[in-house]
């Protein structure tokens, strides 16, 4: 399976949880595609507002203070995802969302309906509002080395006892802390003394801290009223930095997220370890771009960058090309590894070397043309493999096992798998 992961272009979607660059998004995709407008119209009906008009608002502070701001973030992210899926034909291997964005990721994966997601986010926003206070502030801590020394100092200074919490593990060199203003200022003075950069944040609730326990309990009760579905692709949990364990884990994970730290660094490391090479920001997000930085072997693609947008639009062709290389390349590898029991040179030349050469040429042609093999070409590959196996005097049972290896290692769709198995013997 390792070979498959090397060749397969794995893509993940990242969903923001903060205020978005609305006007850029509206100009780039929302005003151009029917599928996006369908999402916006459904949201308008559910929220009782004209979402399209909100997209034209240029007052960032006014937008931030709107009661519908969180459902609006969900709506625009889902609309962007649907354009990628239905217009550009992009199917992600994973999705992840930053804080609020996790609900968006679950929605795009099909685990939560869009209608329910709107209601869940409205409930979440209402419950968090109950905990609003001017006493709480946030602070971004940046280290020139890595965030582990920030956490070590946090523990040494016993800042938790001062009511200060580590709320967001943003990147390998950045952590966000939250606490009451007076306590936070004392902590900041200590961090500045050891050359850790501090950036103040406007935070009006102790979200992602144990102080939100009552809110989390209420939210859990509300979540238990909904019916969830199986995912179409894995979603990474903020709480664990690992994929959800099916729909049964939604209530627990989303309620725990209210009190738990956002493990974004672990999320990105998980994607990197799974050989995800590109992530698509569902909407233009300066925060997610900044957190990606140069920390991982992953390229971030955003709709507000013309070069990125060109790549997003053509990503399906690259995926197909890599799948083609993988499929034909794996066929060649299986043939080469199959033991030969025929020592007749003429039969070997005609029944092994020539068909192997044809498949090799086809592999090069598909790569050059950047396309997936047609049904006729796929049937030809199967026939050539059958000829080679027969010439090598491979038993029927082992021939079937070889074709099963081809299917298992290629990550191809179910229709093609069925075609291979029906025609292989």
DSSP character string of 353-364 = IHHHHHHHHHHH
Show pLDDT as tens, one digit a residue, over the chain (425 residues): 333 333 346 899 999 987 655 556 666 666 678 888 899 999 999 988 888 877 766 655 555 555 778 898 899 899 989 988 888 888 899 999 999 999 999 999 999 999 999 999 999 999 998 877 777 778 888 887 778 888 888 888 888 888 899 999 999 999 999 988 888 888 888 787 777 888 888 777 889 999 999 999 999 999 999 999 999 999 999 999 999 999 999 999 999 999 999 999 999 999 999 989 899 988 766 778 888 888 999 999 887 777 787 778 777 666 656 665 667 888 898 999 999 999 999 999 999 999 999 999 988 887 777 676 777 888 898 899 999 999 999 999 998 888 888 877 665 556 667 777 777 76
Strand partners, 280: 13, 301
The CA R_g of the chain, rounded to the nearest whole Å, is: 26
Which of these, 129, 93, 95, lies nearest to 112 by C-alpha position?
95
- Residue with the two structure tokens 């507002």: 49
- Neighbouring residues of 126: CB distance < 8 A, sequence distance ≥ 6: none
Domains of the chain: 2-131+209-313 (3.40.366.10), 136-201 (3.30.70.250), 317-423 (no CATH)
Number of helices (H) and strands (E) in the chain: give both, helices first.
21, 10
- The encoded tokens of residue 128 equal 């968090």
pLDDT of residue 41: 92
pLDDT of residue 319: 62
CB neighbours (10 Å) of residue 354? 13
pLDDT of residue 93: 92
Nearest-angstrom CA–CA distance, 145 and 142: 9
């Amino acid at each position: 399976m390792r070979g498959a992961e090397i060749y397969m272009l794995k893509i993940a979607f990242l969903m923001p949880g903060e205020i978005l660059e609305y006007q850029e998004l509206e100009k780039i995709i929302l005003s151009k595609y029917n599928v996006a407008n369908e999402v916006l119209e459904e949201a308008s009906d559910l929220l009782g507002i004209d979402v399209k008009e909100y997209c034209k608002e240029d007052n960032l502070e006014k937008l931030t203070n709107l009661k519908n701001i969180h459902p609006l973030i969900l709506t625009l992210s889902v609309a962007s995802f649907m354009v990628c899926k239905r217009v550009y034909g992009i199917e992600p291997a994973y999705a992840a969302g930053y804080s609020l964005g996790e609900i968006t990721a679950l929605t795009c994966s099909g685990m939560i309906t869009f209608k329910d997601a709107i209601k869940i986010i409205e409930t979440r926003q209402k419950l968090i509002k109950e905990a609003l206070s001017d006493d709480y502030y946030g602070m971004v801590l940046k280290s020139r080395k890595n965030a582990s020394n920030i956490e070590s100092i946090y523990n040494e200074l016993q800042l938790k006892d001062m009511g200060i919490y580590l709320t967001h593990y943003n990147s390998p060199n950045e952590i966000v802390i939250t606490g009451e203003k007076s306590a936070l200022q004392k902590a900041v003075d200590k961090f500045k003394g050891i050359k850790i950069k501090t950036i103040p944040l406007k935070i009006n609730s102790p979200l992602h801290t144990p102080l939100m326990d009552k809110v989390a309990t209420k939210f859990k009760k509300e979540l238990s009223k909904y019916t969830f579905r199986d995912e179409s692709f894995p979603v990474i949990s903020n709480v664990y930095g690992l994929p959800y364990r099916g729909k049964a884990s939604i209530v627990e994970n989303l309620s725990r997220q209210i009190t738990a730290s956002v493990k974004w660094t672990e999320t990105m490391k998980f994607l990197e370890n799974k050989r995800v090479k590109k992530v698509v920001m569902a909407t233009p997000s300066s925060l997610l771009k900044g957190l990606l930085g140069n920390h991982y072997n992953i390229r971030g693609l955003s709709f507000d960058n013309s070069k990125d947008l060109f790549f997003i639009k053509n990503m399906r062709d690259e995926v197909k090309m890599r799948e083609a290389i993988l499929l034909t390349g794996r066929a060649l590898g299986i043939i080469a590894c199959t033991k030969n029991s025929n020592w007749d040179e003429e039969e070997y030349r005609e029944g092994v070397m020539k068909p192997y050469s044809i498949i090799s040429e086809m592999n090069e042609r598909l790569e050059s043309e950047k396309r997936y093999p047609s049904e006729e070409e796929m049937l030809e590959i199967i026939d050539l493999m059958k000829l080679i196996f027969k010439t090598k005097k491979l038993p029927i049972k082992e021939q079937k096992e070889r074709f099963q290896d081809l299917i298992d290692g290629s990550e191809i769709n179910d229709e093609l798998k069925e075609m291979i198995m029906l025609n292989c013997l």
